[in-house]
A and B are shown apart, each in its own frame.
Chain A
């Protein structure tokens, strides 16, 4: 499957970790395990039905899979255990040296000693199954038991003790002075206004001196506020933000005093991260632990209480969580979109929302012409479906789609080719900029690995097939079928999906044929183009890149005839499986062979069968010279004679079992739903000679 770069990186990270843990296994076995894991990931993505192809989605899938360390062989585990045991033993011995006073005293000796004991303890527990680990544990227990004995007997002279105490006091004073200085520096950095967005709320706080004023805004209205005094401190390297003298200033509890509370914070340039609820409850906000990330605000004082304007000219991206999970996506611009914006030199500002009541936020923003330029969603319920009255029901409740308002509905443009579900808003302030991210030159990439072992067409043939592909594509979007009919081997065998929803005013822009390969008998080509399709009835307007595969065959020196086509996600390995192993791209030097037309045996035409378990299909034909078989299947709808979207399954001659008299039998590799399907078999010879069987219909009952 094809994944976005960031997603593939996540997968590679996991697979590399597995590989590392299996390092002592034979290379061949490791490769096999990796292939099974890759297959498992692909299947999980397919089964989840989530086509967003996002790295977050993959992370969730990976988190359900075995931890990479669990792939370590037992010898690896033993060797790791031994390593930990050795570490434990060494650190335990050195800590004993500290215990006995054998190490000369230095300023942070106590810290180093405690650290050594901690490392030794952790390592000893980890390596407890090894002999050295057990010895380390024994040493540590002895050290703990002997500590009071040794140090009780270690009488210091009065003078020495006084000198030591003076030294320690001095060090402590130096340390506390340094901490106070750091706290003061942090408070200086905190001065000013900070903002963050939580679901549909905007949080704002302003720190002046040691006073903090906090407020929550919803739709521009202040719904809650408080003030309190701030005191910063440090425990070790942990920064503590403590509040006192708090009072609620806005909302139902206005005038009430607040209990003091404290939390951990981290100040990083213009970001302030607060970990609430870990030290004690921030009862005025929430009982739950939560991380709040603030950004330094450049807007005016809190007293203004105006909606903060977006940075001028920046493309505004809103990300919305799932109505099933109730999550709020991270406020990050997805990598692929960021790359596209960077290429154009545009900045992108991102805000995230939970799905609950998102429609209100969107509608309120649209009234002020502050709607986002791009909406990133992973569930269509956010937009809404007319057939369901624009209401989606999940375990978390009802969700109203933003399309429930007609003006909003008309402003939405679905996009293609951005690696996720992105919707443009035609009325937004920076719509023209946002469009350029989608309406761009096709950049098809065919990996070198895809081209290995694939026969190349002669240059003039390649040019001819490329032009046929472009003509067929353009006709399928904007034409009247006349061009496709002229080049079709059998027009009725082509799926209607490609041109079923032609729309007046649709434009094909920036069209490009690539990946045109084959022999002089069988050729495949991909066309990628930007299509700008206006809204029609209830179908959203669409803008973006789409890719279509066209497959041609021809008799010796005859005309190329279009035999099959389908929309694809781009380069997909199965496409080239059809061509692999065919001749050596020099058919004229090879003996011509005769491929027999496959004859379908069962199920009978029009048979009704369950889809699960899959019924067997049988055919005979192709002859001894057939090197590939393709099972092509299309699905239809009951009551119509229309057939949609071909699926192709490619089999090598040696991958399928031939029975007596050349009968080939296999489980039907197709079945989109409980509906009619039709299927046929292609037999392909070594030079690309292609013979097609008749179609047979099968009606799936479940």
Chain B
């Protein structure tokens, strides 16, 4: 069971990251904090940072470095066109899965 949850969360975390970055640009640490506001999505940086690194390598994220004399520079990430496209595809896929699961559950109810 725990392995199933781990696998499911892995895929969902990437989707959640894209959703957060679609809403506003953010820096990596803040993304971890945002995700941890949701009990079902609690993650550590060792999960989030490699995902961000891969997405950036795949040109799905854009980077903007903002220097600050009040503190360290922040590396702000936002969705690129490719990133938005992936988010759209993921949304469609998830909606499809949800519909199918709902259909199965409904048919199961009817046969009871």
Which residues of A are at the interface with B, using a C-beta cutoff of 8 A?
1, 22, 25-26, 28-33, 35-37, 39-40, 42-43, 45-46, 65-67, 70-71, 73, 566, 572-574, 577, 646-651, 655, 669-670, 672
Contact = CB atoms under 8 A, between A and B. Distances in A.
Nearest to A74: B10
Given A29-B53, A40-B45, A35 B75 contact: yes
Nearest to A655: B64
B67 A37 contact: no
Nearest to A654: B64
Contacts of B27: 39
B28 interface: yes
Given A29-B56, A36-B52, A43-B29, 19 more contacts: A22-B50, A25-B53, A29-B54, A29-B57, A32-B52, A32-B56, A33-B53, A36-B29, A36-B45, A39-B75, A66-B44, A573-B67, A574-B67, A574-B68, A577-B67, A648-B67, A649-B67, A651-B66, A669-B66
A37 B68 contact: no
A33 B49 contact: yes
Given A28-B53, A30-B53, A655-B65, A46 B46 contact: no
A566 B45 contact: no
Contact of B75 (A36, A71, A577): A36
Nearest to B77: A36
B45 A65 contact: yes
Interface string B63-74: 011111111111
B39 to A, nearest CB: 19
Which range contains the number of B residues in contact with the other chain?
20 to 34
Contacts of A29: 50, 53-54, 56-57
B2 to A, nearest CB: 13
A42 B66 contact: no
Contacts of A577: 67
A25 B56 CA distance: 14
6 contacts: A36-B52, A39-B73, A574-B67, A574-B68, A647-B70, A672-B70
Nearest to A572: B69
A290 B45 CA distance: 34
Contact of A650 (B49, B56, B67, B70): B67
A36 B49 contact: yes
Contacts of B29: 36, 39-40, 43
A322 to B, nearest CB: 22
Given A39-B28, A669-B66, A25 B50 contact: yes
Given A22-B50, A29-B54, A66 B67 contact: no
A73 B50 CA distance: 9
Most central of A29, A43, A46 by chain B CB within 10 Å = A29
A64 to B, nearest CB: 10
At the interface, is chain B mostly helix, strand, loop or mixed? mixed
B68 to A, nearest CB: 6
Interface in B20-75: 27-29, 44-46, 49-50, 52-54, 56-57, 64-75
A681 B70 CA distance: 17
A543 B44 CA distance: 43
A262 to B, nearest CB: 42
A577 B66 CA distance: 10
Given A36-B45, A649-B66, A574 B28 contact: no
A651 B67 CA distance: 8
A305 to B, nearest CB: 53
A649 B53 contact: no
Contact of B46 (A26, A71, A670): A71
A66 B46 contact: yes
A566 B71 CA distance: 15
Nearest to A45: B72
B69 A574 contact: yes
A319 B71 CA distance: 27
A525 to B, nearest CB: 17
B57 A26 contact: yes
Contacts of B50: 22, 25, 29, 33, 71, 73
Most central of A26, A40, A648 by chain B CB within 10 Å = A40
A649 B68 contact: yes
B13 to A, nearest CB: 14
Contacts of B67: 573-574, 577, 648-650
A185 to B, nearest CB: 49
Most central of A22, A25, A43, A672 by chain B CB within 10 Å = A43
Given A36-B75, A39-B27, A670 B45 contact: no
A648 B45 contact: no
A651 B66 CA distance: 7
B71 A43 contact: yes
Contacts of B53: 25, 28-33, 36
Most central of B27, B52, B53, B74 by chain A CB within 10 Å = B53
Contacts of A32: 49, 52-53, 56-57
Contacts of B74: 39, 43
A1 B67 CA distance: 11
A574 B72 CA distance: 9
B73 to A, nearest CB: 7
A45 B72 CA distance: 9
Contacts of B49: 32-33, 36-37, 71
Contact of B28 (A36, A649, A655, A672): A36
Contacts of B52: 32-33, 36
Given A28-B53, A649-B66, A37 B45 contact: yes
A42 B68 contact: no
Nearest to B48: A36
Nearest to A44: B29
B46 A566 contact: no
Contacts of B45: 36-37, 40, 65-66
Contacts of A45: 72
A35 B49 CA distance: 9
A39 B45 CA distance: 12
A672 B46 CA distance: 32
Nearest to A47: B71
Closest 6 CB pairs of A and B: A42-B72, A32-B53, A66-B46, A574-B67, A29-B53, A70-B46
A22 B46 CA distance: 10
Interface in B70-98: 70-75
A415 to B, nearest CB: 23
B69 A647 contact: yes
A669 B69 CA distance: 10
A670 B69 CA distance: 9
A647 B68 contact: yes
